Amino acid sequence: MNDHTLIRPRWTIPVEPTGVVLEHHAVAVRGGRIEALLPAQHAEERFPGAVVVDLPEHVLIPGLVNAHTHAAMTLMRGLADDLPLMRWLQEHIWPAEMRHVSPDFVRDGTLLACAEMLRGGVTCFNDMYFFPEAALEAARACGMRASLGIIVIDLPSAYAADPDDYLVKGLDLRDRHRENPLLSFCLAPHAPYTVSDATFRRIATIAGELDVPVHIHLHETTDELERSVAEHGVRPLERLRRLGLLGPNLVAVHSVHVSREEIELLATHGASVVHCPSSNLKLASGFAPIAALAKAGVNIALGTDGAASNNRLDLFQEMRQAALLAKAVAGDAEAMPAHAALRAATLGGAQALGLAERIGSITPGKRADLTAVRIAGPELLPCYDPASHLVYCAGREHVSHVWVDGTARVVAEALQNTDLTDLDTRAKLWQNSLKAHAES
């Protein structure tokens, strides 16, 4: 019995090597692994009897990687729009979380997020939120790949009482699930303004011992920088450097306000930046200097942030925003071309999360996390360059098929998981509970 699947799209963009677009090739998948990428005319000869998935109008790309989100916050989508970050957090989001966040809230919110992301071609997400075990359960139920944040904050919550409690619970979760092939873990200190030096030092020690990414909001707003200088005498990145956290495992989310010297510091130490352009725009945080970061050699990934500060968990939107903003900020139409934006949404995210050897490109030996986009209809024709179309023209509504670890999770635009069938009812129940905060 032949247990191969052959996926035959019109175009394949493997991401590695950079800038390549293959026409009339096939991807052979077996046991969740990419076994071969070869011309379609040779594929059936090499793999006779394989199950064939013909995609004659489609471009096949690696599954998208949402390198920063707060998945459960889908239940707060539109809760308190059009406010600056700290007012949004202090007056609306944090009070709502203190009252409502629970394992059930996180499980249902993450299920809703997974459904949205899968339908939009996202196969892996990097999460930072309370009750990560509930998020883990949701990701497993949906068959998504997830990097789960071991959140740490110096403030008590319904989840944990203090930094030690956050770490003990998160590390225990990692110990129990670290062998799951679809799961990985990050240390996730929330932000410089919510984490003390003592806690950062402990995180640096643990990160060094376990060799895991450290996922943190960093240099997001000018208020954050001013507060750091007032309280610590230095800007946040320099504070992290002195505390031993600046290195290849640092995943610096936002990095909107970084100087030339700080860009060089990030590059020299091999850190990654997760660019969240829509969230930065909505909260008026500013314009990240992505072209300068990329030119310096910093690995760039893309994230949506949470649905409360973006309203969409949509990597197609982020690719387009990132590419357009990079050009405008740099004053250079060649900044962040389409292939670079696609890399940031795939291999860049995988690299930031320590997963580049497993996912992020259509490379034999890697896991079969794949997304197919149908290039058809008046809004997408004609198509001279499928990579350009993916970034500047196509949207998540054009995603037709998604595979995670070789298993089809979306087929002909339909989710294949019955665990996601009653999400409308769950979302409405939570909306009723949160309604008072939405109207305040």
Domain boundaries, the chain: 5-62+370-404, 64-352
């769950």: which residue's tokens?
426
Summarised one tens digit per residue, pLDDT across range 93-146 is 888 888 889 999 999 999 999 999 999 999 999 999 999 999 999 999 999 999
């409405």: which residue's tokens?
428
Residue 329 buriedness (CB in 10 A; 0-12 / 13-18 / 19+)? middle
Measured distance CA(152)–CA(204) in Å, rounded: 12
Measured distance CA(290)–CA(300) in Å, rounded: 8
Predicted confidence pLDDT, tens digits, the chain (440 residues): 468 999 999 999 999 999 999 999 999 999 999 999 999 999 989 999 999 999 999 999 999 999 999 999 999 999 888 888 888 888 888 888 888 899 999 999 999 999 999 999 999 999 999 999 999 999 999 999 999 999 999 999 999 999 999 999 999 999 999 999 999 999 999 999 999 999 999 999 999 999 999 999 999 999 999 999 999 999 999 999 999 999 999 999 999 999 999 999 999 999 999 999 999 999 999 999 999 999 999 999 999 999 999 999 999 999 999 999 999 999 999 999 999 999 999 999 999 999 999 999 999 999 999 999 999 999 999 999 999 999 999 999 999 999 999 999 999 999 998 777 788 888 888 888 887 655 55
The fold adopted by the segment(s) 5-62+370-404 is Urease, subunit C; domain 1 (2.30.40)
Instruction: Tell me how far CA of residue 24 lies from CA of 27, 40, 313, 361, 380, in angstroms.
Output: 10, 6, 31, 18, 19
Measured distance CA(174)–CA(20) in Å, rounded: 37
The fold adopted by the segment(s) 64-352 is TIM Barrel (3.20.20)
